[in-house]
Chains A and B, each alone.
Chain A
């Protein structure tokens, strides 16, 4: 399917950094008309940033733009907005649905591009008073659906559609644009059933035959192999492999995705704690956390260990701590230290001496508008009655400001939190320091067991090391069992004793952290659905 003409899309030395944090370096990529390119890589490998650059998203410009050249149709382009990209013939289907719920498929397919008829009033008041040409709308949506090759009901309201059809409607919308030359599909099969996914792959082949190039991003590697002409694997903001799909297999791709130098794992001090008693035992856990659904998880955590939980995004690794700690609806059995913990109530977990550092720092982790003192001391005060003075024989529990300040200062010192004083507002700190405040909040509870979710997400390299070091020290010195959830495998391998990999909402396997990266990579894609 490749031809010898000048490529449809060419990227030359594209680089991007977010405030000094290099996320893309020297990306070179070419794409011919009608070619299907599979793009894979772990989360944070830079796939979505690259697509955002191509699509001219606002966030790229707001963070200082990019360097390098992008040539589309032989011309150098730098789209100032997604609308310019659309005009040039690039379409993108996002992971989140971008549909109007109460509109029919037809209305959505032609959203803001409806064929119109002029009327007397529109001559006077402008084109927005043109009436819609419903016949033409029907015709064009039927045409787009036909191009798609999958049958969807053009008159059905989006709200009443099964998830897969919503996805198809979005793709049909892109196909209805006559100028479309390149379509980017960002994990389109994540929400589809097997059958629907198969239909989608057919329709991708169909598009390619019509000369539309497709960039297909997915974690389902076998799909890539079955439909793509070429596979590009990204890792740490670089293209690590660019091969014809016929010359590779799932194993190779996985290894390229997660593979890393052997030295990184050398610092690992994984211990074998299999003889220690089980402190937390999870049986048949399900969690209804949108986008991170957990089903039927069974897991035993040994006393005193650091257990890592890894896996690709959306596979449910985040759902496990959030479900156990009562932030999302959950069911199943959780036994801690011999006692069953009732689910769906954060208080019970906290009272049982479990603590949780949420991955959603700004949303759940912090009181952004309050002082560090409040942030650090609040759970300890509410759950364990720390930093309270009892007045009138315990009738009144008075906030002990001095105790709060002392407690906060202790952790500011211990974790080296950079702030003007313990009275500073949490929102004024940098990401790394905010994360340390979240840790301090959990440490202040003096827990026996600590869940830490994505502790290094969105913070700079220096802060990452400090945070991980603090966790390790906390584990070693206080004998606290730690379960750390992270999408960065190497990070897990550097401090954990064992690592469990979650895939498709279930535990795909548990391995000692000393095992090579490829083994984990295999587990990661094993149950992807």
Chain B
């Protein structure tokens, strides 16, 4: 759309490439070591990865818009996931299955997502500068409300009829809601099998539409405003952009996409763990995005795809590779959890350290300039 010229300091391009892509390169190495050790066949691996791509990419894409608006990693995407789950519970109760069920759930999730997104956005506007920790706590807080609604209010207050999802005690939803009747309906429609690898064309098409949307969105007035707000709120405000509203909208959009993403995710899984499906989803999505080379203030669609492939390859092979190395399969399980958290920690530290380094570098350069100038003056 437009060329951007930059005057970066020259340097060895290979070194620069490695420095700018430390995390993805590390993951390529981990995967390179673990894949042979795991002993999985290539077709099995490929199948798994393609499945997981279909399952996760839509969800992860929801993170891009808040990053664009400078609000960091949206740990509050869990809110969208919960909205999606509530919609699925209703659809399951009404026994509407198949693709109509999925579509109905998506439509149904929108009001819930918007409501939660507005709440989250409002709170984040009240805590500028610490959006991430706040969105993280919001996800816990809303999880409490979610349990209150799903465990106690569904039944007596919110009509739930179908016995298969209601707890035997007469109110509340069972720990697991079976979505067997809509399991992989999207993935199987129009799916193609090439060399033993099942490719869910429809799911990928939906993802492609969302990618197009995100790309297009960057070029809209709203997208431009978000980028401006993300880089400097004060300047944006002085130029007449409504900063609070722009940030609010970015969170609402993210939450709605997360709601859709969760429904796609769950139709692939085929069942809904009412109280735990959403609890870790934010962490895994964020870790995957960061593995793809994104940072707290910069992410693109490429990061999402690369991240999903690398992160999930590691996720698939780690347990069995770990078992081969240490003789204990649990090691691999814990290893992949550790890596997920570790990668987020490293990304956060690098982001904060970069902010500080940029400041001190500017100072040093000034001092240097004056020194040379002083020397020249002295001569």
Contacts and interface: CB of A to CB of B under 8 A. Distances in A.
A129 B4 CA distance: 24
A331 B227 contact: no
Interface in B220-246: 220-222, 224-225, 227-228, 231-232, 234-236, 238-241
B374 A284 contact: yes
B238 A157 contact: no
B366 A83 contact: no
B219 A103 contact: no
A116 B225 CA distance: 13
Interface in A352-397: none
Nearest to B245: A128
Given A98-B235, A128-B222, A134-B1, A112 B228 contact: yes
B220 A131 contact: yes
B3 A293 contact: no
Contacts of B221: 114, 116, 127-132
B2 interface: yes
B232 A101 contact: yes
A24 interface: no
Interface in A100-151: 100-104, 106-107, 111-112, 114, 116, 122, 127-132, 134, 138
A286 interface: yes
A103 B227 contact: yes
B373 A295 contact: yes
A80 to B, nearest CB: 14
A112 B6 CA distance: 23
Contact of A131 (B8, B216, B240): B216
A196 interface: no
A286 B371 contact: yes
Given A114-B224, A132-B221, A100 B377 contact: no
Interface string A271-311: 00000000000001010100001011000000000000000
A98 B371 contact: no
A82 B239 CA distance: 10
Contacts of B366: 288, 293
A132 B219 contact: yes
A128 B227 contact: no
A329 B363 contact: yes
B5 interface: yes
A160 interface: yes
Nearest to A86: B240
Interface in B18-32: none
A160 B2 contact: no
B367 interface: yes
A403 interface: no
A270 B300 CA distance: 68
A190 interface: no
A141 to B, nearest CB: 11
Given A131-B219, A132-B221, A331 B236 contact: no
Contacts of B5: 153, 155-157, 160
B220 A129 contact: yes
Contacts of B373: 295
Contacts of A107: 224
A104 B2 CA distance: 9
Contacts of A331: 367, 371
Contacts of A83: 240
Contacts of B15: none
B367 A112 contact: no
A219 B43 CA distance: 74
Interface in A187-237: none
A99 B235 contact: yes
Overall SS of chain B's interface: helix
Contacts of A296: 374, 377-378
Given A98-B238, A160-B5, A329-B367, A112 B220 contact: no
Contacts of B1: 134
B7 interface: yes
Contacts of B228: 100, 103, 111-112
B370 interface: yes
A266 to B, nearest CB: 40
Give the one of B3, B239, B373 with max A CB within 10 A.
B239
B236 to A, nearest CB: 7
Give the one of B225, B232, B241 with max A CB within 10 A.
B232
A112 B240 contact: yes
Contact of B236 (A82, A100, A153, A288): A100
B367 A286 contact: yes
Contact of B225 (A112, A122, A157, A284): A112
Nearest to B216: A131
A197 B113 CA distance: 54
A153 B4 CA distance: 10
Contacts of B377: 295-296
Interface in B194-237: 216, 219-222, 224-225, 227-228, 231-232, 234-236
A103 B224 CA distance: 10
B232 A157 contact: no
A134 B4 CA distance: 13
Contacts of A112: 225, 228, 236, 239-241
B233 to A, nearest CB: 10
Contact of A82 (B216, B235, B238): B238
Nearest to A99: B235
Nearest to B3: A155
A104 B4 contact: yes
Nearest to B378: A296
A155 B6 CA distance: 9
B339 to A, nearest CB: 31
Interface of B: 1-8, 216, 219-222, 224-225, 227-228, 231-232, 234-236, 238-241, 363, 366-367, 370-371, 373-374, 377-378
21 contacts: A83-B240, A98-B235, A100-B228, A103-B228, A103-B231, A104-B2, A107-B224, A111-B228, A112-B228, A112-B236, A112-B241, A128-B222, A131-B216, A131-B221, A153-B5, A157-B5, A160-B5, A288-B370, A293-B370, A296-B377, A329-B363
Q: Which 6 A-B pairs have the closest CB atoms?
A: A128-B222, A112-B239, A160-B7, A111-B239, A288-B367, A296-B374
